Amino acid sequence: MRHSSVPIRKKCLYPKTWRRKIRTMNHEPANHTPIDDFAQNLRTLCTSHRSVSEVCRLTGINRQQFGRYLKGTYRPSRFNLRHICDTLGVRESDLMMPPTDFETLFRSNSGKIQQGGGASWLGKNIENRVIMSDPGLRKYIGWYHSYSYSFGWPNRVLRSLVSVHEHQGRMLSKTIERVKDPIHGARFIYKSDGFITTGADQIFMAEQDTLQRDGFSLRILFRTHRSHVDFLSGLTTGTSSWPDRQPTSARVVLEYLGGTIDTRGALRKCGIFVPSHHNINPKILPLIDNTITEGETTLHATAR
């Protein structure tokens, strides 16, 4: 009996599903490529907002699609990339930087209070107007306590924390108000982002509520011609926090705290209170008094 020259095929001990996995492992090695710089920088940028979902609402990009950008599996189209940068207040070239360099840039622009998305909500025409052409504005960079009588609680002064900073050739502002209702004890936090420009030897600080996005405010302040900044006085106009949202104006003073401060400590001092010489600088009280003198029919700012 002659033996066949065809070799005997050994029976495979693995099920078919396992064999498919083994072939995949042998011929399709896993992708160990780390997440690219763009995706990592985009993740860092999103930390300036409460959540990725909030960023998606701002940009109008689908959450699932935006998640692919964050994972690095897809890159946005040219249109979407430009829209993301405009909305979040960065340049396209910034997002292509090495992550360590972008982190340094991001933190230096953010400070200890995150600055958010810059002034993209203003519209292109106004943005062009607020590109900083006056180098003298740089002396106002720093932290302030803002004082004015509360729009919602009569006879009480509101103290809030304001940051003035430069970002991509613009002077921007960030305001945080921490309020405890003196009657019912409820606590509220209000945050606003805005831009700063000058005209008629005045400083204009326009801000939008970043949490509810349904309110604007405007501070008009006297410029100081001193070499250093201590107090900036003027007027503030906005809407009451009460349901009627009544438009209101009051005199306001910004007290300069410094370029680098203990932000936690400064925030703890924010709130509303009955003013006295024990809890407010005596120089500030007459500057925020809203009394209209005899013969006046409009509210004027009190010069420092």
Domain ends where: 75, 110, 145?
110
Q: Are residues 46 and 163 in the same domain?
A: no
Q: Are residues 155 and 278 in the same domain?
A: yes
Distance CA 91, CA 82 (A): 8
Q: Are residues 77 and 145 in the same domain?
A: no
Distance CA 201, CA 219 (A): 14
CA neighbor of 217 nearest in space, from 186, 240, 188: 240
The reported pLDDT for the residue numbered 30 is 36
Q: Are residues 69 and 167 in the same domain?
A: no
Q: Are residues 129 and 236 in the same domain?
A: yes
Distance CA 155, CA 285 (A): 12
CA neighbor of 232 nearest in space, from 260, 277, 201, 264: 201
| Contact predicate 250/288, CB 8 Å | yes
Distance CA 125, CA 137 (A): 21
Residue at 25 is within a domain:
no
The reported pLDDT for the residue numbered 115 is 40
Residue at 304 is within a domain:
no
Q: Are residues 149 and 281 in the same domain?
A: yes
| CATH label of the domain that carries residue 103 | 1.10.260.40
Q: Are residues 134 and 209 in the same domain?
A: yes
E strands, 112-210, are 142-149, 157-167, 170-180, 187-199, 202-209
Placement of tokens 């890159």 in the chain: 75
Domain ends where: 110, 141, 173?
110
Q: Are residues 92 and 205 in the same domain?
A: no
Domain ends where: 67, 82, 110?
110
Distance CA 193, CA 75 (A): 29
Q: Are residues 284 and 174 in the same domain?
A: yes
The reported pLDDT for the residue numbered 216 is 86
Residue at 300 is within a domain:
no
Which residue positions in the chain have pLDDT lower than 50? 1-6, 8, 10, 14, 17-34, 111-125
Number of separate domains in the chain: 2
Measured at the CA of 76, the angle between CA 71 and CA 80, to 5 degrees, comes to 135
Residue at 3 is within a domain:
no
Residue at 294 is within a domain:
no
The reported pLDDT for the residue numbered 270 is 94
The reported pLDDT for the residue numbered 80 is 87
The reported pLDDT for the residue numbered 181 is 79
The reported pLDDT for the residue numbered 164 is 93
Residue at 62 is within a domain:
yes
Q: Are residues 277 and 152 in the same domain?
A: yes
| CATH label of the domain that carries residue 132 | 2.40.128.120
Distance CA 119, CA 113 (A): 16
Q: Are residues 133 and 183 in the same domain?
A: yes
The reported pLDDT for the residue numbered 36 is 85
Placement of tokens 């606003």 in the chain: 192
Q: Are residues 129 and 99 in the same domain?
A: no
**Containing structural domain, residue 134:** 123-288
The reported pLDDT for the residue numbered 107 is 75
The reported pLDDT for the residue numbered 120 is 43
